[in-house]
């Protein structure tokens, strides 16, 4: 299999890297980590102008490119530690609408997402923080043709700035927990929604969202009632590989920082990069990053082609979780004390490695899927 980018993807990668280097330097990363909103309207508008919001959305709904093109941009976002509602809108929200929405819903939401006019997220996790159907306990009960949602969702990305939340709720108790799960598109302005921002390790914006008798009309049911879990699984697969792409980009940036430091830092009259122990660590980082990129893009290609990819997704996420952690650990060993200070940017990537490791399935979760 040829893992090289085609000409258009290489152009997309170059333009994305140049754009993010200019528009999202280290100073902006630090500002967005502290900012309550987590992004600026101006930057969002510029990203929409580059057609990034439409990546992987079908052309008939205003989109452009495919999932592999989206992966290229996500990798570049990982390089700069990007914070903002891009991932929940394009990877979670748009994917769910594409997978489960009817044509009216696609016409209603996808063009606005592609144009950057709409921000969307998905409320999936609950206190158990498990990515399994039996973890869905938030209830949605029928009421005069509509549904009323009650319960609390945790770790909902960028809910505080979203226009719509796709809530995964239980509409029926069944012997098989995969049955009885339904997806609802909830307008953020609906009465009964309470959003509380959470403190996070990496500065990304996650929220606790409480639904109290939130009324959702029939038109906002995404897919078939009680049959929503297969759609959730497809979205989770794309999200897991999207996070892998961000981790690959972050690991690549960490390697570049480490190589630069090894060339500049001297000890005993020589750059520390001249010492074999440092060279071995850097070589191991390269091996981990290349392996991560290959397994990630293999899984992404299968998802893009509509092929079965459960095994490839599990392999990629379990491997990249561990590889990114090893890369940042080696980077800290090379940098020494400076790498542990708040003044140095390395700590952002270290924290992100830990946070992303548990996003959309940790190592044990995906290894269990491989043996089940």
Indicate whether 57 and 46 sit together in one domain.
Answer: yes
Mean pLDDT of the chain: 96
In a domain, 127, yes or no: yes
In a domain, 1, yes or no: no
Nearest alpha-carbon partner for 125 in 192, 42, 209, 60:
209
Indicate whether 342 and 265 sit together in one domain.
Answer: yes
Residue 114's alpha-carbon distances to 50, 120, 211, 365, in angstroms, are 10, 12, 28, 33
For residues 153 and 88, the answer to whether their CB atoms sit within 8 Å is: no
Residue 19's alpha-carbon distances to 85, 238, 335, in angstroms, are 17, 24, 28
In a domain, 2, yes or no: no
In a domain, 255, yes or no: yes
Q: Identify the pLDDT of residue 172.
A: 94
Indicate whether 281 and 346 sit together in one domain.
Answer: yes
Q: Identify the pLDDT of residue 4.
A: 85
In a domain, 140, yes or no: yes
Task: Show the tokens assigned to 358.
Answer: 């548990």
Question: Which sign, positive or negative, has the C-alpha torsion 355, 344, 15, 287?
Answer: negative
Indicate whether 271 and 353 sit together in one domain.
Answer: yes
End-of-domain residue from the set 227, 249, 280:
227
Nearest alpha-carbon partner for 86 in 32, 158, 170, 28:
158
Indicate whether 24 and 114 sit together in one domain.
Answer: yes
Indicate whether 114 and 137 sit together in one domain.
Answer: no
Q: The tokens 């999200």 sit on which residue?
A: 239
Q: At what angle do helices 346-357 and 229-264 cross, to 10 degrees?
A: 150
Number of domains in the chain: 3
Indicate whether 138 and 269 sit together in one domain.
Answer: no
Indicate whether 238 and 360 sit together in one domain.
Answer: yes
Which CATH number does the domain housing residue 47 bear?
1.10.540.10
Indicate whether 269 and 354 sit together in one domain.
Answer: yes
Q: Identify the pLDDT of residue 372.
A: 79
Indicate whether 111 and 141 sit together in one domain.
Answer: no
Range of the domain at 366: 230-371
In a domain, 57, yes or no: yes
Q: Identify the pLDDT of residue 217.
A: 96
End-of-domain residue from the set 207, 227, 247:
227
Nearest alpha-carbon partner for 331 in 246, 268, 269, 260:
260
Query: What is the Cα–Cα distance from 71 to 48, expressed in whole angstroms?
Result: 16
Indicate whether 171 and 235 sit together in one domain.
Answer: no
Taking only the tens place, the pLDDT of each residue in 72-113 is: 999 999 999 999 999 999 999 999 999 999 999 999 999 999
Q: Which residues of the chain have pLDDT under 50?
A: none
Query: What is the Cα–Cα distance from 359 to 131, expressed in whole angstroms?
Result: 9
In a domain, 70, yes or no: yes
Q: Residue 141 is inside which H or E element, if any?
A: strand 139-143
Q: Identify the pLDDT of residue 1.
A: 60
Indicate whether 147 and 192 sit together in one domain.
Answer: yes
Which CATH number does the domain housing residue 285 bear?
1.20.140.10
pTM of the model: 0.96
Taking only the tens place, the pLDDT of each residue in 236-283 is: 999 999 999 999 999 999 999 999 999 999 999 899 999 999 999 999
**Kind of pairing between the strands at 266-267 and 270-271:** antiparallel
């Amino acid at each position: 299999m040829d893992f090289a980018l085609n000409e258009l993807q290489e152009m997309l990668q170059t333009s994305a890297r140049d754009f993010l280097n200019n528009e999202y330097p280290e100073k902006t990363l630090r500002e967005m980590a502290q900012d309550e909103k987590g992004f600026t309207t101006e930057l969002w508008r510029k990203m929409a102008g580059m057609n990034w919001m439409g990546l992987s959305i079908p052309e008939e709904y205003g989109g452009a490119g495919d999932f592999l093109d989206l992966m290229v941009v996500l990798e570049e976002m990982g390089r700069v530690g990007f914070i903002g509602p891009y991932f929940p809108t394009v990877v979670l929200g748009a994917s769910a609408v594409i997978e489960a929405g009817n044509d009216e819903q696609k016409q209603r939401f996808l063009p606005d997402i592609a144009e950057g006019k709409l921000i969307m997220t998905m409320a999936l996790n609950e206190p158990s923080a498990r990515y399994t159907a039996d973890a869905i306990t938030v209830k949605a009960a029928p009421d005069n043709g509509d549904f009323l949602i009650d319960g609390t969702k945790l770790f909902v990305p960028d809910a505080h700035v979203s226009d719509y939340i796709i809530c995964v709720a239980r509409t029926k108790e069944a012997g098989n927990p995969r049955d009885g799960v339904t997806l609802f598109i909830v307008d953020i302005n609906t009465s009964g929604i309470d959003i509380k921002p959470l403190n996070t390790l990496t500065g990304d914006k996650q929220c606790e969202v409480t639904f109290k008798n939130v009324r959702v009309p029939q038109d906002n049911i995404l897919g078939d009632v009680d049959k929503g879990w297969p759609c959730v699984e497809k979205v989770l697969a794309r999200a897991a590989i999207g996070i892998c792409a961000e981790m690959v980009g972050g690991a690549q940036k960490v390697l570049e920082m480490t190589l630069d430091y090894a060339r500049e830092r001297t000890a005993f009259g020589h750059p520390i990069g001249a010492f074999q122990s440092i060279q071995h660590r850097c070589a191991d980082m390269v091996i981990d990053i290349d392996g991560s990129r290959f397994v990630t893009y293999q899984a992404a290609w299968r998802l893009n082609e509509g092929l079965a990819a459960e095994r490839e997704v599990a392999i990629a996420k379990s491997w990249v979780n561990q590889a990114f952690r090893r890369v940042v650990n080696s980077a800290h060993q090379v940098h020494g004390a400076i790498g542990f200070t708040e003044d140095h940017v390395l700590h952002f990537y270290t924290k992100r490695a830990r946070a992303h490791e548990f996003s959309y399935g940790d190592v044990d979760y995906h290894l269990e899927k491989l043996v089940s």
